[in-house]
Amino acid sequence: MDRVILASASPRRRELLQLIFHEFEVIPTDCDETLPIGVDVKDIAQIIAQRKNEALGDVDSETLVISCDTIVTIDDVVLGKPNDRNDAEKMLRLLSNRTHQVISGVCLRYNGKVKSFSQITDVSFYELSDAEIFEYIDSDEPYDKAGGYGIQGAASLFVRQICGDYFNIVGLPVARLKKEIKALVG
């Protein structure tokens, strides 16, 4: 493998990928992120990760391309990034005192081979008071994150329990990613 490309603009994914590779390039891609209709919610992140990978176009056969997408779901409803303060408030109220799923879809491409997978982590929140919700949505933190929260920041105080990979919630399931890369690249 001569080169590694992370097809993502996420600073959190960049930071996490450094646990696997010391050197890699970051080349964000633009693709259609419209949610596919009629597709199982559990497959959406993986489909969008595949689109992001394909959007990079052709690369040298000795280049590993890694793309990822993360969604938050509850009751089979996908919670994207909040559009505004009201949207963030609705999301947090929906997540309050409940368990939701964070699903990261990953797509790897190397030497003509493509491997995709999804990782699911269950996250349970404590019941959130109005004061906690308003304090959080008054910060900048919820607005660029699926589900309206970032577990690595102040929202960590909302979490009662996690079942699964913590780093998956942050945006990149690094332990599984490393194993999948090894299986693909050899």
pTM for this entry: 0.93
Q: Write down the catalytic residue from 30, 58, 69, 76.
A: 69
Question: Phi and psi at residue 164, in whole multiples of 5°?
Answer: 130, -160
- Rounded to whole angstroms, the Cα distance separating 172 from 166 reads 9
Q: Is the pLDDT of residue 36 over 70?
A: no
CB within 8 A of 75, min separation 6: which ones?
none
Count Cα neighbours of 101 within 13 Å in the Cβ-side half-sphere.
17
Domains of the chain with CATH codes: 3-185 (3.90.950.10)
| pLDDT digit string, tens, across residues 85-116 | 999 999 999 999 999 999 999 999 999 999 99
Task: Tell me the residue ranges of DSSP E strands in 30-175.
Answer: 63-74, 77-79, 99-110, 113-125, 159-163
Active site residue 69: yes
